Amino acid sequence: MKKVIIGDRIVKSVGEGSDKRNILDGVNVEIKEGEFVAVMGPSGSGKSTLMLALSGADRIDGGKVVFNGRDLSSVGENELADIRRTKIGFVFQQPTMLRNLNILDNIILPSIRDNRKNVAKITEKARALMKRTGIAELEKRDITQVSGGQLQRAGLCRALMNSPAIIFGDEPTGALNSKSAQEIMELLGEINTDGTAVMLVTHDAKVAARADRIMFMRDGTIVSDLKLPRYDGTNMNGRMEKVSVKMREVGI
């Protein structure tokens, strides 16, 4: 299967002189088209840093990241920003949205910035996504007038506006109650089934258990990899048990 992202001996360092240290220390990663990958590891092990490196949001200090066949280190700032805007979706624990815009306008804003001519088409797509994620009736609401789960759905709509090849999520369910978290995971699962690769950073075994593969990090390296059968809606308890056993094994 085609690879969406290849990370080859990625090094990211911080600090200067004798304080310099590698927070990513030669990480190798491959994410295939349509794959669902989770990243787990203790706090400070480098999960978010890895996500930022793979998504081209952060420059790396060694190795390379290849996205859809393009080596990101050879890509200029403008093209890199373009790839991030049009090929990659992000969802974070708390979606950053503008307070003076309603939900619909927040969803369409990044796409309109790129393409002012097609506002009608962009709005149509946003409405279709809002319908799909169950927030169609909230388009005129202010971002302070919706629940955390509804706001996260809006964040998901915004991430999907450009039909990205991959969605990166950093604890996307971390601030939600368990029902909303489950609903967001179901939506991410559907999006993945439709062919979008998903990479989630999470501390939650239940979230990770939905993945095809879990990478376990420690001190800036991947120390273990757990493959699970493709999720078909069954045996969640068995999957979670496998994740928990592995977490204990790698000391999380």
Ligand X SMILES: Nc1ncnc2c1ncn2[C@@H]1O[C@H](COP(=O)(O)OP(=O)(O)OP(=O)(O)O)[C@@H](O)[C@H]1O
Q: What are phi and psi of 45, to 5 degrees?
A: -80, -15
Closest CB to ligand X among 61 and 105?
61
222 binds ligand X (CB under 6 A): no
- Interface region with ligand X, contact rule CB under 6 A, candidates 29-37, 42-50, 159-167, 241-249: 42-50
Residue whose entry in the numeric block shows the structure tokens 């708390």: 94
Give the three-class secondary structure for 101: coil
**How big is the site for ligand X, counted in residues (CB under 6 A)?**
10
C-beta separation of 28 from 223 below 8 A: no
Per-residue binding string, ligand X, 2-21, x by CB under 6 A, is ------------x-------
If one asks whether residue 43 binds ligand X (CB under 6 A), the answer comes out as: yes
Q: Does residue 48 belong to the site contacting ligand X (CB under 6 A)?
A: yes
Stretch that binds ligand X, among 41-49, 66-74, 94-102, 108-116 (CB under 6 A): 41-49
Q: Nearer to ligand X by C-beta: 162 or 221?
A: 221
Give the contacts of 80 (CB within 8 A, at least 6 positions apart).
56, 72
CB 109, min distance to ligand X, A: 27
Query: Using the rule CB under 6 A, which residue among 34, 46, 95, 169 binds ligand X?
Result: 46
Q: How many CB atoms lie within 10 A of CB 126?
A: 25
Distance, in Å, from the CA atom of 151 to the CA atom of 173, rounded to the nearest integer, reads 11
Binding residue for ligand X, selected from 6, 7, 49, 242, defined by CB under 6 A: 49
Nearest Cα to 188, choosing from 202, 173, 203, 205? Answer: 173
Please, which residues bridge with residue 89 across strands? 167
Residue 55: CB minimum distance to ligand X, A: 13
| Closest CB to ligand X among residues 67, 92 | 92
Percent composition of the chain: helix, strand, coil (DSSP 3-state, to 5): 45, 25, 30
Using CB under 6 A as the criterion, which residues of the chain lie in contact with ligand X when the complex forms? 14, 23, 41, 43-49
